[in-house]
A and B are shown apart, each in its own frame.
Chain A
Amino acid sequence: MSALYALVGAKPLFLWTDLLIWLLVAVILFGVSYTRKRPHLLAPWHRVARSRLAMGSLVVLLVYVVIGLLDSIHYRPALEQSEPGDEIHYAVEARTVLDWLVGDLREASEKSYSAPMATHLYSRENVEGEQGVTQRDYPRLKYGGNHLQDPQQRSGDITQSLLLGSVQGLLLWSLIVLMLVLWLRYRKGGSPLQRIVTLLRGHADVSEKQPLPWPTILWVTALVSVLLMMAIQLGVKYHILGTDKVGQDVFYQAVKSIRTGLVIGTLTTLIMLPFAVMLGIMAGYFRGWIDDLIQYTYTTLNSIPGVLLIAAAILMIQVYIDNNALLFETTEERSDLRLLFLCIILGVTSWTGLCRLLRGETLKLREMDYITASHAFGVSHLRIITRHILPNVMHVVLISVVLDFSGLVLAEAVLSYVGVGVDPTMHSWGNMINGARLEMAREPVVWWTLLASFLFMFVLVLAANLFSDVVREAFDPRVQSRGERF
């Protein structure tokens, strides 16, 4: 193995959250293939797929997920050998595939604050003039716009890059459309022209009962790909969203924070789900002392203010990490442990709601005739729970998972502000806000870090909220019956 690492010049680093994230991807893929073959499970998803709102937000969510997944493959690049033939050492600071893709953005760090798209620093410094005279002026940036001879050309250059970016974005989009057309032709036949018209104008096929809202999907894709290519065009030349106090690119930080947000939003539920489902169903199914015990447990946990429980637990884990600093080879491993622990403790404080819902649902189900019939046939408890009760409460689980996501992403920011969130060295929107909020009192105001974290967080949470609304409506039997009544 080490020979292979040496050949590639990198050694993979397996973080706990990475493994869990990929496990989650595997679970979702399995779920998709399982659902595809079962029409009764597929039906509500068809309702989701027909919604323009849901599919539009899904495209946005997918972009976030792809970035997050690229950022979830860590490796440690090999350090340069002092002499050939020496043992190869690997860097203490891990990289991800995303870092490798964005390349320069990570290294391009300035001295201090610079405004978005700026060519000069945000504050005056002593600069040596042409005749060796020092004067107070705004020095040029090392990276931002350094390809320009004269900073005056900046606006022209930016316009040019934007135009180029949008043309490239449209090309990329056309490529996607082309591939879609070919795929649809392969799946459903018809002439290419007919396919394109279907895609862009949303003409439903006669054969298709539930057409996907292709126009919405494609317009959102077009927007995303144009923005993406623009960001790439500008990102290599400028700091799109400026730099922070120590001169790091804010855009890079905001992109890196995506992974943290997604990890907290998804892993928390993944971790708490088994407990909530198991205990909730057990309480409702067995009743008696088991019910009492489980109810007691969640009332007790619920009565402790959530933030305080999280704060206490995070303080404890931090003491542990500080005392056992030697266990961690890289800084990433250390902050990763804290992130994982944060997910666990957030899960502990948030499973009670789902557990109570499931208990109520199971209480109703266990009185059903088919459960009584199973009892009469002598079916075991375990089998009744897994075969008859679990599938019938899955919609409650799914709705609660999807609804929880955006709340958890928002909670991360608040917790980081309180000082009990993710590790301060980790990129996260909460840490960005926390570091930048005092800059609002500065004169002149440094606003771009806040703007960046606001934009990235807002788009993710908004898309998640819109998507979860549609999912809830599609899966909630109460909503459907209400819809029919009117």
Chain B
Amino acid sequence: MLNYILRRILYAIPILVGVNLITFFLFFVVNTPDDMARMQLGMKHVTPEAIDNWKQERGYDRPLFWNDAAAGAGQATETLLYSESTKLFRFDFGVADDGRDIGGDIRERMGPSLAIAVPTFILGLMANITFALLMVFFRATYLELSGVVLTVVLMSISGLFYIIGGQFVVGKLMHLVPISGYESGLDAFRFVLLPVAIGVISGIGSGVRWYRTIFLEEMGKDYVRTARAKGLPEGRVLFHHVLRNAMIPILTGAVVVLPLLFMGSLITESFFGIPGLGSYTIEAINAQDFAIVRAMVFLGAVLYIIGLLLTDLSYTLVDPRVRLS
């Protein structure tokens, strides 16, 4: 087991190196530090000295890939690629354009992101599985047909409209909860309620359909026929046998996104003014702060890889047939 985990972590390194190369290419080669300096200092009236100063402050004044001026190994190490990559791998994200420490910001903003993402995820999963099971239970009736129609309709509405509509009806017309904002501690409850509810509802359409196909697939298996032949009531077949077996594909889908919950949701957070990582990213994109975007890309990749690893490990927990090799 430990061996397997170790090997998987070793596999992750080339992927992270690849991600790092792609982001480096996008942020430093396509868009050179000179461009960045010019953009930050204002497009016009920039003296070459100011650009040099700006680059020196951030340590961007080294050559990109190969340093002819240095000696020995320094030719490879005293370059932008090397220094920026090693910084990322040490999770040292540097400072943002406004001088704040990115690592500190990320730690600070993780809390609000999780406060939204975790309840949305858990409640959403429960709601989706429940509705999907009910639809399978009532299959070949009008109840199921209307459920199918409803999910297609829900699926066809853009997520933006759920948020706008929810804010308008619940926040503005009914004054039940604040439209946007956030407070730490227990007060957060008022602010979290609406985003979580909207997050669950907007995910129901595609979620229920997805789980319904999984359940239907399981329903065709032989063990279901055996269970019915033994005379078990349909409810027990469904909730006991089918649900357990369907946990394997459900788990694959769920565990892989688990670590990504840390990243928060871009749209929800910026609409509701929640100071999480999602709105952090959007602000960085709008302000064209490449250091933050780059840090978030790297963080996202790390979390995704952790998700893949967790998925494989969870297989062994729920499915005794799977052995790690």
Of the candidates B19, B30, B158, B220, which one forms a contact with A485 in the assembled complex, judged by CB atoms under 8 Å apart? Answer: B220
Instruction: Tell yes or no: A13 within 8 A of B by CB.
Output: no
Q: Give residues of chain B (269-325) contacting chain A, Cβ–Cβ below 8 Å.
A: 281-282, 285-286, 288, 290, 293, 296-297, 300-301, 304-305, 308
Query: Chain A's nearest CB lies how many Å from the CB of B138?
Result: 15
Of the candidates A308, A441, A450, A478, which one forms a contact with B293 in the assembled complex, judged by CB atoms under 8 Å apart? Answer: A308
Query: Chain B's nearest CB lies how many Å from the CB of A443?
Result: 10
Over the window 134-160 of chain B, the binary record of Cβ atoms lying under 8 Å from chain A Cβ atoms (1 yes, 0 no) is: 000000000000000000110111111
Over the window 288-306 of chain A, the binary record of Cβ atoms lying under 8 Å from chain B Cβ atoms (1 yes, 0 no) is: 0000000011011111110
- B301–A303 touching, CB < 8 Å: yes
B27 to chain A: which residues have CB within 8 Å?
A: 312
Of the candidates A296, A307, A316, A457, which one forms a contact with B158 in the assembled complex, judged by CB atoms under 8 Å apart? Answer: A457
- B15–A315 touching, CB < 8 Å: no
In the complex, A486 Cα to B139 Cα: how many Å?
A: 12
B53 to chain A: which residues have CB within 8 Å?
A: none
In the complex, A311 Cα to B290 Cα: how many Å?
A: 10
- B285–A461 touching, CB < 8 Å: no
Query: Chain A's nearest CB lies how many Å from the CB of B304?
Result: 4
In the complex, A417 Cα to B35 Cα: how many Å?
A: 25
- A316–B286 touching, CB < 8 Å: no
Of the candidates A304, A316, A437, which one forms a contact with B19 in the assembled complex, judged by CB atoms under 8 Å apart? Answer: A304
Instruction: Tell yes or no: A179 within 8 A of B by CB.
Output: no
- A406–B156 touching, CB < 8 Å: yes
Instruction: Tell yes or no: A258 within 8 A of B by CB.
Output: no
Query: Chain B's nearest CB lies how many Å from the CB of A410?
Result: 5
Complex interface: stretch among B57-65, B101-109, B161-169, B238-246? B161-169
Query: Chain B's nearest CB lies how many Å from the CB of A52?
Result: 14
Instruction: Tell yes or no: B126 within 8 A of A by CB.
Output: no
Query: Chain B's nearest CB lies how many Å from the CB of A392?
Result: 22
Q: Give residues of chain A (395-430) contacting chain B, Cβ–Cβ below 8 Å.
A: 406, 410, 413-414, 417-420, 429
Of the candidates B152, B217, B296, B308, which one forms a contact with A308 in the assembled complex, judged by CB atoms under 8 Å apart? Answer: B296
B286 to chain A: which residues have CB within 8 Å?
A: 419
Residue count of chain B within 8 Å CB distance of chain A: 46
A441 to chain B: which residues have CB within 8 Å?
A: 172
Query: Chain A's nearest CB lies how many Å from the CB of B253?
Result: 13
Q: Give residues of chain A (303-339) contacting chain B, Cβ–Cβ below 8 Å.
A: 303-305, 307-309, 311-313, 315-316, 319
- A305–B296 touching, CB < 8 Å: yes
Known contacts A308-B293, A437-B164; A303 and B153 CB within 8 A of each other:
no
Query: Chain B's nearest CB lies how many Å from the CB of A51?
Result: 14
Query: Chain B's nearest CB lies how many Å from the CB of A444?
Result: 12
B167 to chain A: which residues have CB within 8 Å?
A: 440
Instruction: Tell yes or no: B40 within 8 A of A by CB.
Output: no
Known contacts A303-B304, A308-B281, A311-B293; A414 and B158 CB within 8 A of each other:
yes
B161 to chain A: which residues have CB within 8 Å?
A: 433, 450, 454
In the complex, A125 Cα to B160 Cα: how many Å?
A: 33
Instruction: Tell yes or no: A16 within 8 A of B by CB.
Output: no
Over the window 452-470 of chain A, the binary record of Cβ atoms lying under 8 Å from chain B Cβ atoms (1 yes, 0 no) is: 0010011001100110010
State which size class the interface on A falls in.
35 or more
In the complex, A283 Cα to B132 Cα: how many Å?
A: 35
- A465–B26 touching, CB < 8 Å: no
Instruction: Tell yes or no: B14 within 8 A of A by CB.
Output: yes
Instruction: Tell yes or no: A482 within 8 A of B by CB.
Output: yes
In the complex, A486 Cα to B157 Cα: how many Å?
A: 33
A461 nearest in chain B by CB position: B156
In the complex, A326 Cα to B39 Cα: how many Å?
A: 20
Known contacts A418-B282, A418-B285, A482-B216; A303 and B19 CB within 8 A of each other:
yes
- A414–B19 touching, CB < 8 Å: no
A316 to chain B: which residues have CB within 8 Å?
A: 26, 30-31
B18 nearest in chain A by CB position: A300
Over the window 27-43 of chain B, the binary record of Cβ atoms lying under 8 Å from chain A Cβ atoms (1 yes, 0 no) is: 10011000100010000
- B297–A413 touching, CB < 8 Å: no
A412 nearest in chain B by CB position: B158
- A465–B152 touching, CB < 8 Å: yes
In the complex, A461 Cα to B290 Cα: how many Å?
A: 34
A301 to chain B: which residues have CB within 8 Å?
A: 22
- A418–B158 touching, CB < 8 Å: no
In the complex, A368 Cα to B188 Cα: how many Å?
A: 59
Of the candidates B26, B159, B266, B308, which one forms a contact with A312 in the assembled complex, judged by CB atoms under 8 Å apart? Answer: B26
In the complex, A305 Cα to B290 Cα: how many Å?
A: 15
In the complex, A445 Cα to B263 Cα: how many Å?
A: 34
Instruction: Tell yes or no: B5 within 8 A of A by CB.
Output: no
In the complex, A196 Cα to B81 Cα: how many Å?
A: 73
- A469–B304 touching, CB < 8 Å: no
In the complex, A297 Cα to B19 Cα: how many Å?
A: 10
Beyond contacts A311-B285, A440-B168, A462-B156: 6 other A-B pairs, Cβ-Cβ < 8 A, are: A301-B22, A315-B285, A319-B35, A414-B160, A417-B160, A478-B217
Q: Lowest 5 CB-CB distances: which A-B pairs, in order?
A: A300-B18, A305-B300, A462-B156, A303-B304, A303-B301
Give 20 CB contacts A-B under 8 Å: A300-B18, A303-B15, A303-B300, A304-B301, A308-B297, A312-B26, A312-B290, A315-B285, A315-B290, A316-B26, A319-B31, A414-B160, A429-B158, A433-B160, A457-B158, A458-B156, A461-B157, A465-B155, A466-B152, A486-B220
